[in-house]
Amino acid sequence: MNAPLRLPTLLADGAPASPVFDAPRHAAERSGIRNLLNCYLREVAHPRGRLGERPTPALRQSLPLGWRHAQRDAHWLLLPLARVEVQLLIAVTRPSRTGNYRYALPVLARHVADGPAAWQPVGARRLARLLIDDLSQEEGLPFNLELLQQVELSLACTADILADRERHPEPHRADDLYRHSEQSLAFGHPFHPTPKCRRWAQHVREADYAPEYRTTLQLHWFAVAAEHLRVDTVAPLTPERLLADLAVDAPASARVAVPVHPMQARYLRDLPVIRRALDAGQISDLGPAGVRYAPTASVRTLYHPERPWFLKGSLNIRITNCVRKNAIYELESALAIQRRLQPLQAELEHAFPGFRLLGEPGFLTVTLPGCAPADDKAVQEGFGMIVRQNIHGVLADDEQAILAGALFQEGAPLARQVPVADPQRWLHAYAEALIPPMLEAFFRHGLVFEPHLQNTLICLREGLPSGVVVRDFEGVKLVDRQWPAECTADLTPRARQSVLYSEAQGWNRVRYCLFVNNLAEAVHYLADDDPRLEAALWRRVAAVVRDYRDRCPLPSARASLDRLLAGEPLPSKTNLLVRFHKHADRQAGYVPVDSPFTYPAGA
C-alpha cells in the first residue's frame, strides 16, 4: 500500500545527480516538493482559478521525449506563475477533489519566453523560490527570505532524520506500538510547507531531543521554595498529589523540585532574571535526574509508560509556526477547559463507547517575588508545565493505541504493524468512533475539539479501530453563544479571548480538522490511489455523518449537516499563506476545498 512516488534522478535544483545515490536526501527532496505543491495548489492555485488540468496536445508534444513516454498515463496539471513568467507542468496519477495528489516527479518548469523546448526539472529549493517570488510580486510584498530559509531547514532536517533511520533501523516492537508511532513522523504534515523546520540553539544536536531519532531524555530539575511555586489542579487531582507524582523522579532537595525539558533548562539559565535568582539562592539548579522520558510527536510533550502523566513543558524553540512555550493564559485555559469538560466527559463517553479524552487536570510553574512584570511573565512561561493523563490510563487490556498521523503518513512505515485487510470496514469503524462524538460535542455542548492527525490516537483491537482518544486542550474552544459571559466569569480576559469562538469559527475548525486534515488523509492512505475505492470510502464517511444527522434532534445541526452532505466546500487551513505573510498561527485563515461527499453512486 502507498508505494513511494518516483524519485527524481536530480539534485535539488536540476543539476545532474551524483554517481552515489543519496537516498535520504532524495526522499527529503521528494517530500519537500510534494508539500510545496500540496500547499500552493490547495491554498493559491485552486481557489484563485489558476490551475489548468488539461494541457493542450501541443504543450504535451513540447515535453522531453523520454518524459512524455514515461508519463503517458499521467494526468497533467499546468500551473502558470504569471509574475515570474514561468510555467510549471506537474504529472499526477489522477484528479483529486481534496487536493490529495500523488505526484510523478520531477516537476518541469520553463520560462515562457524560452519557447516550447525549454522544459527543465525543478527541485524543491528552486520551486520554493519561484512560488514565493510569484506570491510576493502578486501581493506587492518583499520576497520572504525567511520562508525560503525555513523550507531549506525543513528539507535538511528531514534528510538528517532519514539518514539516521537508514543507519539505525529499529526492529518492530509490538509491545511499544504507541511510542513507536509517536516517534515515527519522519516527513510530518503533508500540507505544511516546512513541517520539519526547527530552530534549535547553536551547537545543539537535534538527535538528542527530537522524537524521530527515537531518543529518550532525562528531566532537568530546579529547586524553589514552596511559596514560589504556582500549582493549580482540578479535583480529584490536588496540588499535593501532583507534586508527589513528580517527586518520584526528583533529586533530593530541601525545597520543592520543579522539572523542565533539558533544552528549556539551557534557555532558563540564560535569562537574566534566572541568573540573578540562582546567584541569590532563590533557585537551585539540581541538574538532570530520574527515568528517561520519550519525546512525542509535538517534541516538547514527554511520555513514560509507567508514569501517570504526559508532561507538556515549555520549550522556547520555534517548531514549524510557533515558539512552543506555555503562555500564562494557556496554562489557565487548559484548566478552564478541564473544569468544563470533566462533567461532560462521562456523558460523551457513555453516549459514544470507545470515545475518550486525555484530561489535563493540573499545571505548575514558578513565580519569583519582586520581579518586573516582563520578568515575571518570562519566569512563569519558562517553567510552565501542563500534566496530561497517560494514554495507558484509558486503554482496555486488549487495546493498543497508535497516532493517526503516523499511520496515515507518506510511505506508510507502520503498514506492517497495522495491516488493513478490508479498507472499507476499517474506515467505517474509525469514522464511527471519531465523527459522532465530535459533532455531538460541537452542536449540543458548544465544544470545539481539534481532532487533527497529531491530536487523534486510534485505539485498536485485533487490527480494527475500537475507539479514538482526543488530546491537547490547548486547541479546545468554546462556542460563545453556548458559553455566555456568566459561564466564563472565572477566566482572565486573555484566557477568555483565547477559548471563545463564534459558531462559524467553530464549525470551520471542526470541519477542517475532522474532514480535511484527518479523514481526507485516512482515505488517501487507504484508497492507495484507487479512485473507485476512494469514492466508496467517502460514501462510508457520508453514511456515518448521515446517521448522526438522522438521530440528532437539533434543527440547526441538521441544517448544517444537510449542507455538508449536499456538497458545500470544506475549509482548509492556510499553512503556506500564514507563513508567507509572517502571521501568528492563530491568524491562519481557510480556503475552500471541493467536497468529497458528492461522488456519484457508480464512481
Q: What pLDDT, on the 0 to 100 scale, is given for residue 284? A: 97
Domain ranges of the chain: 23-162, 216-388, 396-593
pLDDT (tens digit per residue) in 48-96: 999 887 767 777 777 777 676 666 677 889 999 999 999 999 999 888 9
Q: What pLDDT, on the 0 to 100 scale, is given for residue 257? A: 97
Q: What pLDDT, on the 0 to 100 scale, is given for residue 9? A: 34
Q: Is 135 exposed, middle or buried (0-12, 13-18, 19+ CB in 10 A)?
A: buried
pLDDT level of residue 174 (50, 70, 90 thresholds): low
pLDDT (tens digit per residue) in 328-374: 999 999 999 999 999 999 899 999 999 999 999 999 999 999 999 99
Q: What pLDDT, on the 0 to 100 scale, is given for residue 20? A: 65
CB 258 within 8 A of CB 229: yes
Q: What is the DSSP letter of 489?
A: T
Q: Is the predicted pLDDT of residue 550 greater than 60, yes or no? A: yes
pLDDT, the chain, mean: 91
Q: Is the predicted pLDDT of residue 1 greater than 50, yes or no? A: no
CB 364 within 8 A of CB 385: yes
DSSP β-ladder status, 500-501 and 570-573: unpaired
C-alpha span between 444 and 475 (Å, rounded): 19
Is CATH 3.30.310 what the domain over 23-162 is classified as, yes or no? yes
Q: What pLDDT, on the 0 to 100 scale, is given for residue 73? A: 72
Average pLDDT over residues 193-212: 93
pLDDT (tens digit per residue) in 118-132: 889 999 999 999 999
Share of the chain above pLDDT 70, in %: 93
pLDDT (tens digit per residue) in 316-335: 999 998 899 999 999 999 99
pLDDT (tens digit per residue) in 517-549: 999 999 999 999 999 999 999 999 999 999 999
pTM: 0.93
Q: Is the predicted pLDDT of residue 301 greater than 70, yes or no? A: yes
Q: Report the candidate in 7, 10, 80, 5 with the shortest Cα–Cα distance to residue 45.
A: 80
CATH of domain 396-593: 1.10.510.40
* Look-up of cell digits 529547586: 223
Decide if 23-162 and 396-593 have a common fold: no
C-alpha span between 506 and 360 (Å, rounded): 21
DSSP β-ladder status, 464-470 and 355-357: parallel
Q: What pLDDT, on the 0 to 100 scale, is given for residue 171? A: 63
C-alpha span between 530 and 158 (Å, rounded): 28
Q: What pLDDT, on the 0 to 100 scale, is given for residue 481? A: 94
pLDDT level of residue 601 (50, 70, 90 thresholds): low
Q: What pLDDT, on the 0 to 100 scale, is given for residue 235? A: 96
Looking at residue 389, its amino acid is Q
Q: What pLDDT, on the 0 to 100 scale, is given for residue 8? A: 32
Average pLDDT over residues 14-25: 65
